[in-house]
A = this chain, B = another copy of it.
Amino acid sequence: MTANVLSAAREALPRLSSSEARVAEAIIADPHLVVDLTITDLAQVCGTSLSTVARFCQTLGYSGYREFRMEVASAVSREAAERERFGLANSDIDPLDSAEDVVAKVAFHEVLAIEQTVEGLDTAVLDRVVDAIVGGAHVDLYGFGASGLTAQDLQQKLARIGISAFCSVDVHLALVSAALRKPTDVAIGISHSGLTTETTHALGVARDAGATTVAITNSPDSPVAELADFVLTTHARESSYRMGAMSSRIAQLALVDFLFVRIAQRRGDDVTGPLQRTFEVTKTHRINGRRAGDRRANGDSPRE
């Protein structure tokens, strides 16, 4: 299922028994343990028996420790390569880090979040959501707090290509809209944790009204996901929780972009046109450059 072993481990955590979870946590905290240690040693480090470690590997879908280990080695190396591109030795932010370090580390985590979201994305589900939206009449979006921005972002994008979309920061309005959904409509709930009660509530109402429901969340086992016909999962790692909020939002936006581009593509929309125009306006402006600010009034671009 999930391409990256480590994301898979994180995702599987809730389904695991306590001993297996201990193994998962140790591995998530330091994946290098797997590469360096034999199954026996790893079991000892985790305070459990090697049988449990072996079972854990199989729970994740691997034939055993050997296969799992190779997979972890690959994932670790891939991540290390990424880190090197940012010139980083380690990736946790320290209070004494320089501005350059902080910037590189934040960027690294955000890039990682995007890449892992891609790896873990089920494109079949993505396309079914695209089908539902393209074939549907209207899209309702529910998201509050940070996820509210993602919802608004998608709303703006859909509206721009002529798809009826609604999104409100006001829970009451969202609920009213949810109650009015028809079976031809699509309702999308966005919540990183999947626990946000307002989002869950709204999505449930839309579901009861007969709409096709979609969840965008980092926790595919969460309440929001359970109300959804289709679940799109982001893979922002929470282990370095200090970054969590940022990475998760970037991952959500990336996901929303995938969805949007695919919709535009499916509809045969000429996404190029309008944006091309923006591009040219900008370019023209830049050539005359400095004085454009003076002629204010009306010459504004489609976006921003």
A261 touches B227 (CB 8 A): no
**SS of A interface (majority):** helix
Decide if A197 touches B297 in the complex (CB within 8 Å): yes
Q: Could you tell me the distance in whole angstroms from the C-beta of A276 to the nearest C-beta in chain B?
A: 6
Using C-beta atoms within 8 Å of the partner chain, give the interface range for chain A: 35 or more
List 5 other contacts, CB 8 Å, given A14-B286, A97-B265, A149-B153. Answer: A77-B77, A110-B254, A147-B304, A195-B300, A221-B286
A219 to chain B, nearest CB (A): 7
Query: Which residues of A line the B interface, CB within 8 A?
Result: 13-15, 35, 69-70, 73-78, 80-82, 85-86, 93, 95, 97-100, 102-104, 106-107, 110-111, 114-115, 117-118, 121-127, 143-147, 149, 152-153, 156-157, 191-193, 195-197, 199-201, 204, 219-223, 225-231, 238, 241-242, 244-246, 249-250, 253-254, 257-258, 260-262, 265, 268, 271-272, 275-276, 278-279, 281-282, 285-287, 289-290, 292-293, 296-304
8 sample A-B contacts, Cβ–Cβ < 8 Å, listed by A number = A99-B126, A99-B262, A103-B123, A106-B254, A195-B301, A197-B296, A231-B303, A241-B272
- Given known A107-B115, A265-B102, A299-B227, contact A145–B149 (CB-CB < 8 A): no
